[in-house]
Amino acid sequence: MAIEPHDTVVCDSRTATSKSPVFHRAAQMSRRELLVWLACVLLANQVVRLPAAFAVEELYAHVASRSVFYYLGWYAVFRLLLDAGAARRPATGLDVAVAASICLMNVLPAASISWIGITAAAIYVLATSNGDGKMRAAAAVMLALSFNGLWGPKLFGVFAYYLLRADAALVGWTLAASQPDVNWHETIITAAGGHSIMVYGPCSSFHNISLGLLCWVSLTKLARSTWLRSDLAVGLAVCASVVALNTVRLYLMALSPNNFAYWHDGFGQHLFAWGMMLTVLGISLAGVFRAGRTT
Amino acid sequence: MSALGLRLLFACLLLATLASKMHASYAGQADVGAALVSLLADKQLAPQLDRSTQLGASVRFEAPGCHGTVHVMPTSLSLEVTPLFSDVAKAGYALRFVYLDRTWRTEERMAMWGEWLKWKALSLWGLGPYVTVPTALIVAAPAGCRFVEDIDWRPVWHESRLSAARVRN
């Protein structure tokens, strides 16, 4: 059997017998290349939006609207797939059939199809990783991407009202401990002077948790393939920091109309976004480096 | 299959994906509010946009035989605006929550999401007449307004009406 360099494996009649099931016959492409092609199609389906009249500004705006953690996640997926040892084996017919099916799904018009495709790809990679740590790590990052893109928002949508009430209660309790004449009812918080705010979905603490978790999973899996017990503590710290920062922001917005204008519509919203991003990044990196020193 | 054949296959799938995005960019977002206005206009009800409530833009009209203005508000399926219902559900008014082919007298979030899930699953196979946008309608009408009870709201989510609303916008 002739072995060519890099990713192409020649399979002759001695290795693919006529009795082998079609799905188990080796294709002349490595799993790694096949999975990279699949990842390219899935990423293109999400990032590329060919705008009307091919306006470059619209395309740029669409690409720039994604969080940096989203691109970090995709970088982690490609990096891990390219490094996975088990992925150097030839792709089977089943691998080709599954990858092609997922790619074909992407031409369906529903916006959520691409995320369902990523979830399906992650489950397949996990199921066929044969214990390869980097393949499992790539699958974990894909699951984190799909949770951030689809499943998290859908879950939030179903339980939004109850989560928003929890947010309002947290902010209301914090305000009441530090300010006079504060009360809250369901998702409306009223401070002294009659200034009221209502907590909507985009302002919820829980809205950014899935993005924080995506950053944490991506950095952790890039550093090492295995999970450690301490990773759970780091993940919880990421969640807690997101909730705490958002609560502080809502607290400040509830103080007065001027504060609301600054933190909701003014420069404060950018400060908050950057602060949250750097905090999540810092906690995730601290977790990675701390585990690296102790293992 | 040879490596070259597989590469050509996936290159074609990548191009097909990009081509489908080109089509999708012209489709625009489903506008339930515009579809609602067109449905009411078809029934000769002279709908008018009303931005005076805290619930955001709503559509109001005078219904025959009803003592008061009827308000219809498109809102997210999560019904986050529940605390603001008192702004429209004044004394003597009754609220209805409408989504696709069902109507509820109280906020039934889980039931509404169940309907979304059912029709979404069917739509993935090309079944069902609805575009499953997660936008419901809150209908605030004077108590005893039979005319509103008899309105069939289902066409608001029909593919044809939402497409026509998109084109007009």
**B85-110 pLDDT, tens digit each:** 766 667 788 889 999 999 999 989 99
pLDDT (tens place) for every residue of chain A, 295 residues total: 333 344 443 344 444 444 445 555 565 888 999 999 999 999 988 877 655 555 667 667 777 778 899 999 999 999 999 998 876 788 889 999 999 999 998 877 777 888 999 999 999 999 998 888 999 999 999 999 999 999 998 899 889 999 999 999 999 999 999 988 888 888 999 988 888 899 988 888 887 899 999 999 999 999 999 899 999 999 999 999 999 999 999 999 999 999 999 999 999 999 999 999 999 999 999 999 887 655 4
- CA–CA separation, A147 and B87 (whole Å): 36
| Residue B76 sits at the chain A interface (C-beta within 8 Å) | yes
- Greatest Cα pair distance, chain A, in angstroms, is 85
Q: In this complex, do B21 and A28 lie within 8 Å of one another by their Cβ atoms? A: no
3-state secondary structure of B124: helix
| Calculated CA dihedral for residues A108, A114, A119, A124, nearest 10 degrees | 60
| Of the candidates A151, A262, A246, the residue with the CA atom closest to the CA atom of residue A199 | A246
In this predicted structure, what is the pLDDT of residue A57?
72
- CA–CA separation, B82 and B90 (whole Å): 14
| Residue A63 sits at the chain B interface (C-beta within 8 Å) | no
CA distance A81 to chain B (A): 17
In this predicted structure, what is the pLDDT of residue B89?
65
- Residue of B22, B26, B78, B84 to mutate when probing chain A, most A C-beta within 10 A: B78
- CA–CA separation, A187 and A149 (whole Å): 25
Q: Which tokens sit at A123?
A: 């489950």
